[in-house]
């Protein structure tokens, strides 16, 4: 089965700083998803990547998938307190079954 390794497990940054979260797969990725979860709430979809070398941006968040399709990174520019939460990467296959990494807890201090 596919395993996703996320790093770091937690991250504390000062407001305005940039940060990067990584997600590494044990197998070639078919589809890679990034989600954000606020404590005790559902998941908010951020971006989906499926082509090697693909890069997508939404507001101050950029996600990239490497050429080999085994590693993805999520970069936040000029972080704000509203970016705080748990970031999860997930991968699916042709069977539509999503496997998630363990998540990265982001704290942004004002």
Interface residues with another protein (CB under 8 A) are 31, 33, 35, 40-43, 45, 47-48, 50, 88, 90, 92, 96-103
- The distance of closest approach from Cβ of residue 16 to another protein in the complex, given in angstroms and rounded to an integer, is 28
* 15 or 100: CB nearest another protein: 100
- The distance of closest approach from Cβ of residue 69 to another protein in the complex, given in angstroms and rounded to an integer, is 15
* 13 or 43: CB nearest another protein: 43
Q: Which residues of 19-39 are buried (b: 16+ CB within 10 A; e: fewer)?
A: bebbbbbeeebebbbbbbeee
Preceding omega of 12 cis (within 30 degrees of 0) = no
Pairing assessment for the beta strands 55-58 and 85-92 based on DSSP bridges: unpaired
* 68 or 102: CB nearest another protein: 102
Query: Cβ(56)–Cβ(47) under 8 Å?
Result: yes
Helix (H) or strand (E) holding 70: none
- The distance of closest approach from Cβ of residue 48 to another protein in the complex, given in angstroms and rounded to an integer, is 5
């Amino acid at each position: 089965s596919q395993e996703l390794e996320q790093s770091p497990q937690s991250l504390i940054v000062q407001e305005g700083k940039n940060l990067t979260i990584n997600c590494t797969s044990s197998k070639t990725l078919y589809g890679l998803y990034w989600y954000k979860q606020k404590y005790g709430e559902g998941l908010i979809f951020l971006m989906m990547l499926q082509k090697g070398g693909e890069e997508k941006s939404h507001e101050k968040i950029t996600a990239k998938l490497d050429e080999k399709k085994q590693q993805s990174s999520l970069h936040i520019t000029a972080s704000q307190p509203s970016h705080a939460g748990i970031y999860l990467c997930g991968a699916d296959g042709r069977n539509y079954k999503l496997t998630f990494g363990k998540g990265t807890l982001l704290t942004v201090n004002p």
